[in-house]
Amino acid sequence: MKIIDLEIELNQSSLILSEVLKISDGQLGNIKKSRSFFELQKSDLTREMEIKNSKIIEQQRCIAILEDALRENNNIAEFEQLLAVVRSKDERINELEQMINNKVITVSADNKESRILELEDALKESIMIAAEREKVFNEEEQRRIETLQKGEARHSELMRKRWFPARARGTMIAAEASANHHWGVR
Protein backbone atom coordinates (compact mmCIF):
# COMPACT_ATOMS: atom_id res chain seq x y z
CA MET A 1 0.00 0.00 0.00
CA LYS A 2 2.83 2.33 0.80
CA ILE A 3 4.45 1.54 -2.50
CA ILE A 4 1.29 2.51 -4.37
CA ASP A 5 1.12 5.83 -2.47
CA LEU A 6 4.74 6.53 -3.29
CA GLU A 7 4.14 5.77 -6.97
CA ILE A 8 1.16 8.16 -7.03
CA GLU A 9 3.22 10.91 -5.46
CA LEU A 10 6.05 10.29 -7.91
CA ASN A 11 3.65 10.54 -10.85
CA GLN A 12 2.19 13.78 -9.51
CA SER A 13 5.64 15.26 -8.97
CA SER A 14 6.73 14.31 -12.48
CA LEU A 15 3.58 15.95 -13.91
CA ILE A 16 4.33 19.16 -12.04
CA LEU A 17 7.95 19.05 -13.18
CA SER A 18 6.93 18.55 -16.80
CA GLU A 19 4.57 21.54 -16.53
CA VAL A 20 7.37 23.66 -15.10
CA LEU A 21 9.71 22.58 -17.86
CA LYS A 22 7.10 23.58 -20.45
CA ILE A 23 7.18 27.18 -19.14
CA SER A 24 9.04 29.40 -21.55
CA ASP A 25 11.89 31.70 -20.61
CA GLY A 26 9.67 34.73 -21.15
CA GLN A 27 7.05 33.40 -18.80
CA LEU A 28 9.74 32.56 -16.24
CA GLY A 29 11.05 36.15 -16.47
CA ASN A 30 7.51 37.44 -15.97
CA ILE A 31 7.14 35.29 -12.87
CA LYS A 32 10.43 36.65 -11.49
CA LYS A 33 9.36 40.21 -12.28
CA SER A 34 5.99 39.71 -10.60
CA ARG A 35 7.75 38.20 -7.60
CA SER A 36 10.05 41.21 -7.27
CA PHE A 37 7.02 43.47 -7.81
CA PHE A 38 5.19 41.74 -4.94
CA GLU A 39 8.26 42.04 -2.73
CA LEU A 40 8.46 45.74 -3.60
CA GLN A 41 4.79 46.16 -2.77
CA LYS A 42 5.35 44.29 0.48
CA SER A 43 8.21 46.60 1.48
CA ASP A 44 6.11 49.64 0.51
CA LEU A 45 3.26 48.33 2.64
CA THR A 46 5.66 47.77 5.53
CA ARG A 47 6.87 51.38 5.26
CA GLU A 48 3.30 52.64 5.09
CA MET A 49 2.39 50.63 8.17
CA GLU A 50 5.37 52.06 10.05
CA ILE A 51 4.34 55.59 9.04
CA LYS A 52 0.74 54.92 10.09
CA ASN A 53 1.91 53.46 13.41
CA SER A 54 4.03 56.55 14.09
CA LYS A 55 1.04 58.76 13.21
CA ILE A 56 -1.16 56.72 15.56
CA ILE A 57 1.40 57.12 18.35
CA GLU A 58 1.52 60.87 17.72
CA GLN A 59 -2.29 61.04 17.76
CA GLN A 60 -2.33 59.15 21.08
CA ARG A 61 0.11 61.71 22.51
CA CYS A 62 -2.10 64.55 21.28
CA ILE A 63 -5.17 62.89 22.79
CA ALA A 64 -3.38 62.52 26.13
CA ILE A 65 -2.39 66.20 26.04
CA LEU A 66 -5.98 67.19 25.18
CA GLU A 67 -7.35 65.02 28.00
CA ASP A 68 -4.96 66.68 30.47
CA ALA A 69 -5.99 70.11 29.21
CA LEU A 70 -9.66 69.16 29.50
CA ARG A 71 -9.16 67.95 33.07
CA GLU A 72 -7.34 71.17 33.92
CA ASN A 73 -10.11 73.17 32.27
CA ASN A 74 -12.72 71.27 34.32
CA ASN A 75 -10.71 71.98 37.48
CA ILE A 76 -10.59 75.67 36.56
CA ALA A 77 -14.35 75.66 35.94
CA GLU A 78 -14.99 74.01 39.32
CA PHE A 79 -12.67 76.52 40.98
CA GLU A 80 -14.52 79.41 39.32
CA GLN A 81 -17.85 77.98 40.52
CA LEU A 82 -16.54 77.68 44.07
CA LEU A 83 -15.14 81.20 43.87
CA ALA A 84 -18.54 82.49 42.74
CA VAL A 85 -20.21 80.72 45.69
CA VAL A 86 -17.66 82.18 48.11
CA ARG A 87 -18.15 85.67 46.67
CA SER A 88 -21.93 85.42 46.96
CA LYS A 89 -21.64 84.22 50.56
CA ASP A 90 -19.20 87.03 51.31
CA GLU A 91 -21.64 89.56 49.86
CA ARG A 92 -24.45 88.08 51.97
CA ILE A 93 -22.28 88.27 55.09
CA ASN A 94 -21.48 91.91 54.34
CA GLU A 95 -25.20 92.65 53.90
CA LEU A 96 -26.01 90.96 57.21
CA GLU A 97 -23.21 92.85 58.97
CA GLN A 98 -24.57 96.13 57.62
CA MET A 99 -28.07 95.21 58.79
CA ILE A 100 -26.74 94.36 62.25
CA ASN A 101 -24.71 97.56 62.40
CA ASN A 102 -27.76 99.60 61.39
CA LYS A 103 -29.86 97.89 64.09
CA VAL A 104 -27.20 98.55 66.70
CA ILE A 105 -27.10 102.21 65.76
CA THR A 106 -30.89 102.55 65.94
CA VAL A 107 -31.11 101.00 69.40
CA SER A 108 -31.51 103.82 71.89
CA ALA A 109 -29.40 104.38 74.95
CA ASP A 110 -32.37 103.51 77.20
CA ASN A 111 -32.73 100.13 75.57
CA LYS A 112 -29.01 99.49 76.06
CA GLU A 113 -29.17 100.38 79.74
CA SER A 114 -32.28 98.28 80.38
CA ARG A 115 -30.62 95.36 78.59
CA ILE A 116 -27.52 95.76 80.78
CA LEU A 117 -29.70 95.78 83.91
CA GLU A 118 -31.48 92.63 82.74
CA LEU A 119 -28.15 90.93 82.18
CA GLU A 120 -26.89 92.02 85.61
CA ASP A 121 -30.02 90.61 87.28
CA ALA A 122 -29.67 87.33 85.40
CA LEU A 123 -26.00 87.11 86.41
CA LYS A 124 -26.83 87.75 90.09
CA GLU A 125 -29.54 85.10 89.99
CA SER A 126 -27.23 82.52 88.40
CA ILE A 127 -24.53 83.28 91.00
CA MET A 128 -27.03 82.77 93.82
CA ILE A 129 -28.22 79.49 92.32
CA ALA A 130 -24.61 78.30 91.92
CA ALA A 131 -23.79 79.23 95.54
CA GLU A 132 -26.88 77.40 96.78
CA ARG A 133 -25.98 74.30 94.76
CA GLU A 134 -22.41 74.40 96.05
CA LYS A 135 -23.69 74.61 99.64
CA VAL A 136 -25.97 71.60 99.11
CA PHE A 137 -23.11 69.71 97.46
CA ASN A 138 -20.74 70.44 100.37
CA GLU A 139 -23.36 69.32 102.92
CA GLU A 140 -23.96 66.07 101.04
CA GLU A 141 -20.22 65.47 100.75
CA GLN A 142 -19.77 66.03 104.50
CA ARG A 143 -22.60 63.58 105.27
CA ARG A 144 -21.09 61.01 102.96
CA ILE A 145 -17.66 61.33 104.62
CA GLU A 146 -19.22 60.97 108.09
CA THR A 147 -21.18 57.91 106.98
CA LEU A 148 -18.03 56.31 105.57
CA GLN A 149 -16.10 56.99 108.77
CA LYS A 150 -18.89 55.52 110.90
CA GLY A 151 -19.07 52.48 108.65
CA GLU A 152 -15.31 51.93 108.84
CA ALA A 153 -15.28 52.25 112.63
CA ARG A 154 -18.16 49.82 112.97
CA HIS A 155 -16.57 47.39 110.51
CA SER A 156 -13.24 47.38 112.35
CA GLU A 157 -15.04 46.88 115.70
CA LEU A 158 -17.00 43.92 114.29
CA MET A 159 -13.87 42.42 112.82
CA ARG A 160 -12.03 42.73 116.09
CA LYS A 161 -14.87 41.07 118.02
CA ARG A 162 -15.30 38.30 115.51
CA TRP A 163 -11.65 37.34 115.15
CA PHE A 164 -10.36 38.08 118.60
CA PRO A 165 -12.57 36.80 121.42
CA ALA A 166 -12.28 38.51 124.78
CA ARG A 167 -9.74 36.01 126.21
CA ALA A 168 -7.50 36.08 123.18
CA ARG A 169 -7.63 39.83 122.88
CA GLY A 170 -5.60 40.27 126.03
CA THR A 171 -3.04 37.69 124.87
CA MET A 172 -2.90 39.30 121.45
CA ILE A 173 -2.32 42.74 122.89
CA ALA A 174 0.50 41.35 125.08
CA ALA A 175 2.05 39.57 122.08
CA GLU A 176 1.80 42.72 120.02
CA ALA A 177 3.48 44.75 122.77
CA SER A 178 6.25 42.16 123.04
CA ALA A 179 6.83 42.20 119.27
CA ASN A 180 6.89 45.96 119.19
CA HIS A 181 9.41 46.01 122.05
CA HIS A 182 11.55 43.39 120.29
CA TRP A 183 11.64 45.36 117.01
CA GLY A 184 12.06 48.68 118.74
CA VAL A 185 8.67 50.10 117.76
CA ARG A 186 7.17 52.55 120.20
Using a cut of 0.85, tell me whether the model's pTM lies above it: no
The CA distances from residue 6 to 17, 69, 134, in Å, are 16, 72, 123
Task: Encode the chain (186 residues) as per-residue pLDDT tens digits.
Answer: 677 877 888 788 877 777 766 777 777 777 777 777 677 777 778 888 888 888 889 989 988 888 888 888 888 888 888 888 888 888 888 888 888 877 666 656 667 778 788 888 888 888 899 889 999 999 999 999 999 888 888 877 777 776 655 454 555 555 565 656 555 555
The CA distances from residue 3 to 8, 9, 16, 85, 143, in Å, are 9, 10, 20, 96, 127
Q: Per-domain residue ranges for the chain? A: 32-106, 109-186
